[in-house]
Structure 1
Amino acid sequence: MPVNKTPVINKFEVISSSYHEKLLDFNFQNLSNKKSHESRSTFSITNEFILKFNETQDPVEKEELLEIARKSITKCKRKLGLKTLGSGKHVDLPAAWTEVVFLAQCKGEIQDEALNMLYVSLDHISFDYDHLPALFFVAESILYRLCCDALLRTYLYSIEMKLAKIGYLIFLRLFIYFLHGHLESFQPHLLRLQPFLYALCFSGESYNQYPNILLQVQFILKISEIICKREHLYGSVFSPMGNQEASGNMCSDMGQLPLDQRGYEVNHLLWHSVAAWSCVQRDNPQLDDVLQHLLSQKTQLQKKCWLDSALALLVLGEAAKLNLACLRTLMDLLRDFISSILSIQNQQESNNVSDFSSAWNIVTIYTTILSEICLYASTSDLRKTALIGFCDCKNSRKSILLMDKPEEEPELRGTSVLSLLEYFSSKISDNCDQVIWRGYYSIVYNLVKMSWELQGDEEQDGFRNVIWQTLQKTKECEKDVRIQNAIRVAQAELNDLTDPFTRYDAKVASDVGEEVFSKYLGWRIANTLSSLFFPCVDTQIPPLEKSLTKWDQMKCPKKRQESMKKRVLRFIVSNLESHILRCWHCKMESAWVPGHQTEENTN
């Protein structure tokens, strides 16, 4: 039975184990020594300061230490470039990340703010090869705290959710670097991560009732399986079918050869999703053809290797924030996927088809992407479509708000937020498939976060009113403990135990610092993969091709370029698709920045 963790707002104590102190001291001294010739100031946060900060009982001394920590927070905000998307002469990310990792060990408000800053920074910064040593340092520190401290707790803490979210962003970034062939020189760093990743493999049972965290942990493990060239024991902890042979749950698409001998094969769905993004960005008239080819690859979602499919949805979701046709394609993909999965499982034919054990991953990822579209799409029409759907909007909305239980189980009419809510709520039961209850959980969980994000925004009052009423009816009518738990977990993640249904008119300061969704990383990934898959004739891949600085102490650029030539990134496409898509060299228009809305909000 899974461990019953109750979401509470508590902070775990500073890690004082000798191993972690040595780990931080080693990395801290390494980074400090490498940057000593150009450091602008010395770090004020040390292990001694952290222990003193957390253990002192003297009110006067406590206030003095708190003031020092607050000043360090202010300095880190500037060095992280939180207001400039990580760019500017004042930005020093490796130094700032290092100090933020130390600050995150101080109890209370400092810990919360430090982790919030780290999450925002990892979300919005560009991909830069020079960031990799510091990124590995952050990864090692976060994994240590997630594996060796948080997992030992009886209850689920808000800090545990923050650590999982940060780890998810870190490993998504590492995977993009991997696709560019930039991790070959970082084998010692990857080896240092493996003890923590091995421990994390056995954490699945603790998170079974919390799909949002479980999904983030699965992302970390699946990516590490690829970039570390090792296999994790998914069969014993993550397989929903119980204990199975590990080989039955591993990704078979990679083949028998090591990755460094055969390269990483990008599946059709991801390739076409990046192609669609490129068409939208370049206003290419062949977008419709690309989307048709993309839909023809819909069976890729049913493969056991779900990581590429997840990235494909992420990239296509970014295109859907700009283009209605892309949004329709995204929603059609998931409608077909959910219908196919549940139909096959209902007929008990899963033994004769692909393994669908990871189907809930795809549905959960999709609901998160759809929620981000509701909040950050470029036009109000796109946002409303993601929430309500393309057709029969009024009837669908009325049915959901009233939470009517139909006499017959409804068909899946669409995959908008409200359509999925209606569909999953009609099928929820104690013995329902995990796709049903985890999909339902994810929608309610994201609706709470969406409602919180929209607080105080007068221009979005009508939009938020629909979300608020839907949540209120769900809270009143839905008695399933798992779904009620989704509301509590979302509140805990937001560090806000106040009932959201009593705070409808509450105003929220614009500088609250808590980011409920990832606003920029999907956009960064889409742009970077577009440059990698479809580079223009006269351009290179600028996000990752910066010259190394001395503090990296890695191989020289010449050797790194030689290793790039050895990298094999395979694109399996037909001659027709290549002919349609390969010759895009249109003039690149200025890129759209997530969160920038080009149309007045009309509700």
Structure 2
Amino acid sequence: MPVVKIPVVQKFGIISTKYHHALQQRLLQSSTVPEQKHRPHRPLEITEDFIKQFNSAEDSEEKERMLDTARKILLRCKRRSKINPKGSGNHVDLHLAWTELILLAQCKGNIEEEAIDILLISMDQVNFNQENISLLFFMAESILYRICCDVAQKPCLCSSDVKLSKLGFLTFLRLYVFYLLGQLEPYDEQKERLSTYLQALQSCRSVYEPFPNVQSSVHIMLKVGTIICSLEVPSGSNSSFQENPDLRPAVTKAEGAEINSFVWYCLEIWLHVQMKSIHLQKALHQLCQLNGGLLQENWLDSLLGLFILGEAAKLDISCLKTLLKLAHNFITSPLHLPVQNSELTSSPVTSWPWEVIYTYIMVLSDICLHGTAAEIQKHAFTGFIEKHDTTVSTHETSLHGLLFFMHPQASEACNKMNWIIHYGTVYNLVKVCNVLHMDVNRSGLRNAIWKALNRCSEKDNRVIDAVKVAEAELNGPANTFITAGSKTSLTSMSLGSCQYVGLRVASVLSQHFLPPVVPYIPLPNKQACSQLHIKLPKLKERKTEKIASRPSLREQYFSTEPCTARSNFLTRTNMDLQKVMDEQWEKELKIKMEEDKEDLQRKQQENQKKQEEHFMEIMKRREQKLQKNTKPYELPLTSSTE
């Protein structure tokens, strides 16, 4: 640290050493204080004082001023957060935008939900980037702190709480994908801090038991956190069904990372669909033969596989049929019911964990909305009824079949599975109906879903609450920053922002575990370089006068064509193009007129020549007939002798 020496002018003679040091300290303080006072203040900066002032504002004028400032910050964050899937440019700054949004979500009221909505859509659409890992850890800590200290203490569930849990689900899912790629090793300090919040989250799990949509996100956060932080799960804390260790599938290794074989087959199917390969049916058959792929101890791999397979099912109907068959094998088959044995007191269940079942319902709802063909959207709701094959009917595992699903055997585990399936199906179908409300082309699908919901005579109050939770989330405050965007953003926000999850996960995993012929090399991000002031050489006076005499492009544009100040580059380009077309048309018209003029002159000459030839022919006939050389009006000349 440099030593700051303050020169002291001795104006009053010799002073003691004590007063000399005191004077130096006083002058040093006076030299630093003005710099702090004159520090430039940024009006749109998010600080702790801003959040406290926003939440504690009581005067109406102060509330309006703080709300206006917060909305300006939100508008700036939306522009920086790449909320459009195809958005790019130097204005995009995800690190700064996500940091400001997660801090702005601490403000009470509509600003909190609007900030979380933008975060949800942005995190759903953005590609996986290793540079965002530290930011994801920061967001994970912030979300867990909010859930443990604020959300869990509320007497009732709010729409912002549901959205916050979805944001935590997307954040931890991205961290788990980076864990599979082996990119979380250098972040030991962040893992240690995150483990502290995970221990506090363990005690908040029971608060969300009546709401499986929130509880599934909490369980996924806990599962991912225990894996990446290498925590020991306490006995009896696992809410999922127990798995049979003998059914764990093999593990595929590629480039130093490990991946489950079920996920690997789903990636292969997705790649075949993208390439329109002829080997798709063979890959689907191999996936159906892998019965143990969905029964591994780490059910997060099953969750990733469902997302990837669901993305392939949006494009190909045979993949959708395979997805429904897998669900039929692991939900409705009596071979996977609890084994009643006196020797097994724990009654192990070799079936899907309920978190995976709820994820399957969410994926199926996404296919019903965003399938590339109307037939795919229809069969995601109705399923396939195979008349020639009575052993397998995928109607029971479609959205319509799950709405009326009842397990044939009565047990505590089956009853829990029944009401969770009913809750998730009703919750997602209500939101699908809301998205299809303004879509005239799919009114038939919406009417079929609405009739099925009306026919479902549910008596369980917990399932009836699913309708209330979905309507409260849909009828919340309108986000002006999202409604002004595209229709894709609206549907993504309504369904919990799972529209692009499968595509992003499949893309990043396929690049590492299914490398193409040309290896994938991630390019570094282009940093926004500051404008450099380049000194241009001085021009001669002659050239300067010539340039100065010529009007600028802006002056030419406004002098020839009046235009408003909002004219953009496309408008000017179209007008210039129209001007070029008019000039070209004038040239062609001038050439056409000259050609017509020449053609007219040629015709006149031809007519005149024809008339002369006709006259000469007449005169020749007359001369032959009368034997005279004179013209008709001339008299013959008499000789002088006569």
> Fold match, TM over 0.5?
yes
Q: Which moved more, 1:274-283 or 1:333-342?
A: 333-342
Q: 1:271 aligns with which of 264, 286, 297?
A: 264
Question: So what's the TM-score if we normalise by structure 1?
Answer: 0.71
Measured in 2, the distance between the counterparts of 1:63 and 1:153 equals 27
2:353 maps to amino acid? A
Deviation at 1:202, TM superposition (A): 2.2
Residues 358 and 292 of structure 1: is their aligned pair in 2 closer, same or farther, counting only changes over 3 Å? closer
Deviation at 1:95, TM superposition (A): 0.7
Alignment-derived partner of residue 239 in structure 2: 239
Q: 2:506 aligns with which of 502, 516, 526?
A: 526
Measured in 2, the distance between the counterparts of 1:251 and 1:56 equals 57
Instruction: Say whether the 8 Å CA contact 1:387–1:417 is kept in structure 2.
Output: yes
- Is 1:422 the counterpart of 2:422? The answer is no
Residues 509 and 183 of structure 1: is their aligned pair in 2 closer, same or farther, counting only changes over 3 Å? closer
| Deviation by residue 1:363-407 (Cα, 9 ceiling, x = unmatched) | 2111111000000111111000100112279xxxxxxxxxxxxxx
Q: Secondary structure at the match of 1:266?
A: strand
User: Aligned ranges for residues 23-422 of structure 1 at < 5 Å?
Assistant: 43-85=44-86, 87-233=88-234, 235-239=235-239, 265-340=258-333, 344-345=337-338, 351=344, 355-356=349-350, 359-391=353-385, 413-422=395-404
1:71 maps to amino acid? K
Residues 85 and 349 of structure 1: is their aligned pair in 2 closer, same or farther, counting only changes over 3 Å? farther
2:138 maps to amino acid? F
Instruction: Say whether the 8 Å CA contact 1:142–1:163 is kept in structure 2.
Output: yes
Deviation at 1:79, TM superposition (A): 0.5
- Is 1:483 the counterpart of 2:463? The answer is yes
1:365 maps to amino acid? T
Measured in 1, the distance between the counterparts of 2:111 and 2:324 equals 41
Residues 348 and 101 of structure 1: is their aligned pair in 2 closer, same or farther, counting only changes over 3 Å? same
User: Aligned ranges for residues 454-603 of structure 1 at < 5 Å?
Assistant: 454-474=436-456, 477-496=457-476, 510=487, 514-517=493-496, 518-540=498-520, 542=522, 546=524
Residues 480 and 355 of structure 1: is their aligned pair in 2 closer, same or farther, counting only changes over 3 Å? closer
Instruction: Say whether the 8 Å CA contact 1:251–1:304 is kept in structure 2.
Output: yes
Alignment-derived partner of residue 562 in structure 2: none
Instruction: Say whether the 8 Å CA contact 2:423–2:466 is kept in structure 1.
Output: yes
Instruction: Say whether the 8 Å CA contact 2:384–2:394 is kept in structure 1.
Output: no
Higher relative contact order (CA 8 A, sep 6+): 1
Residues 182 and 45 of structure 1: is their aligned pair in 2 closer, same or farther, counting only changes over 3 Å? same
| Deviation by residue 1:305-334 (Cα, 9 ceiling, x = unmatched) | 211111111111110011111111111011
2:145 maps to amino acid? Y
Residues 431 and 141 of structure 1: is their aligned pair in 2 closer, same or farther, counting only changes over 3 Å? closer
Measured in 1, the distance between the counterparts of 2:342 and 2:126 equals 45
Measured in 2, the distance between the counterparts of 1:549 and 1:497 equals 37
User: What is the aligned-residue identity percentage?
Assistant: 37
Measured in 2, the distance between the counterparts of 1:94 and 1:121 equals 12
1:516 maps to amino acid? L
Measured in 2, the distance between the counterparts of 1:537 and 1:457 equals 42
Instruction: Say whether the 8 Å CA contact 2:384–2:393 is kept in structure 1.
Output: no
Measured in 2, the distance between the counterparts of 1:486 and 1:186 equals 39
Instruction: Say whether the 8 Å CA contact 1:178–1:227 is kept in structure 2.
Output: yes
Instruction: Say whether the 8 Å CA contact 1:535–1:541 is kept in structure 2.
Output: no
Instruction: Say whether the 8 Å CA contact 1:303–1:354 is kept in structure 2.
Output: no
1:217 maps to amino acid? V
Measured in 2, the distance between the counterparts of 1:339 and 1:296 equals 17
Q: Which moved more, 1:450-459 or 1:485-494?
A: 485-494
| Deviation by residue 1:470-514 (Cα, 9 ceiling, x = unmatched) | 22333xx2111111011112223334499xxxxxxxxx9957694
Instruction: Say whether the 8 Å CA contact 1:158–1:492 is kept in structure 2.
Output: yes
Question: So what's the TM-score if we normalise by structure 2?
Answer: 0.67
Measured in 2, the distance between the counterparts of 1:290 and 1:149 equals 47
Measured in 2, the distance between the counterparts of 1:51 and 1:429 equals 51
1:494 maps to amino acid? L
Deviation at 1:467, TM superposition (A): 1.3
Instruction: Say whether the 8 Å CA contact 1:441–1:483 is kept in structure 2.
Output: yes
Residues 546 and 201 of structure 1: is their aligned pair in 2 closer, same or farther, counting only changes over 3 Å? farther
Deviation at 1:232, TM superposition (A): 2.8
RMSD: 3.4
Residues 193 and 49 of structure 1: is their aligned pair in 2 closer, same or farther, counting only changes over 3 Å? same
Residues 489 and 357 of structure 1: is their aligned pair in 2 closer, same or farther, counting only changes over 3 Å? farther
Residues 535 and 349 of structure 1: is their aligned pair in 2 closer, same or farther, counting only changes over 3 Å? farther
Measured in 2, the distance between the counterparts of 1:412 and 1:384 equals 13
Q: Secondary structure at the match of 1:433?
A: helix
Residues 538 and 42 of structure 1: is their aligned pair in 2 closer, same or farther, counting only changes over 3 Å? farther
Alignment-derived partner of residue 594 in structure 1: none
Instruction: Say whether the 8 Å CA contact 2:85–2:126 is kept in structure 1.
Output: no
Measured in 2, the distance between the counterparts of 1:497 and 1:252 equals 50
Instruction: Say whether the 8 Å CA contact 1:425–1:440 is kept in structure 2.
Output: no
Instruction: Say whether the 8 Å CA contact 1:360–1:435 is kept in structure 2.
Output: yes
Unaligned residue ranges in structure 2 (runs of 5+): 1-41, 250-254, 479-484, 529-642
Measured in 1, the distance between the counterparts of 2:290 and 2:296 equals 11
Instruction: Say whether the 8 Å CA contact 1:81–1:88 is kept in structure 2.
Output: no
Alignment-derived partner of residue 425 in structure 2: 443
Instruction: Say whether the 8 Å CA contact 2:315–2:372 is kept in structure 1.
Output: yes
Q: Secondary structure at the match of 2:152?
A: helix
Measured in 1, the distance between the counterparts of 2:382 and 2:393 equals 16
Deviation at 1:208, TM superposition (A): 1.6
Residues 298 and 137 of structure 1: is their aligned pair in 2 closer, same or farther, counting only changes over 3 Å? same
Instruction: Say whether the 8 Å CA contact 1:129–1:548 is kept in structure 2.
Output: no
Measured in 1, the distance between the counterparts of 2:88 and 2:269 equals 28
Residues 173 and 43 of structure 1: is their aligned pair in 2 closer, same or farther, counting only changes over 3 Å? farther
Measured in 2, the distance between the counterparts of 1:265 and 1:353 equals 31
1:269 maps to amino acid? F
1:232 maps to amino acid? V
Instruction: Say whether the 8 Å CA contact 1:494–1:514 is kept in structure 2.
Output: no
Deviation at 1:337, TM superposition (A): 0.6
Q: Which protein is bigger by CA-based radius of gyration?
A: 2
1:344 maps to amino acid? L
Instruction: Say whether the 8 Å CA contact 2:330–2:351 is kept in structure 1.
Output: no
Q: How many residues align?
A: 469
Instruction: Say whether the 8 Å CA contact 1:424–1:437 is kept in structure 2.
Output: no
Q: Secondary structure at the match of 2:146?
A: helix
Q: Secondary structure at the match of 2:471?
A: helix
Measured in 2, the distance between the counterparts of 1:497 and 1:65 equals 18
Alignment-derived partner of residue 572 in structure 2: none
Residues 263 and 527 of structure 1: is their aligned pair in 2 closer, same or farther, counting only changes over 3 Å? closer
Residues 273 and 249 of structure 1: is their aligned pair in 2 closer, same or farther, counting only changes over 3 Å? closer
Q: Secondary structure at the match of 1:171?
A: helix
| Deviation by residue 1:236-267 (Cα, 9 ceiling, x = unmatched) | 444368xxxxxx89999999xxxxxx976422
Unaligned residue ranges in structure 1 (runs of 5+): 1-40, 242-247, 256-261, 394-409, 499-507, 551-603
Instruction: Say whether the 8 Å CA contact 1:304–1:355 is kept in structure 2.
Output: no
1:308 maps to amino acid? D
Measured in 1, the distance between the counterparts of 2:202 and 2:502 equals 26
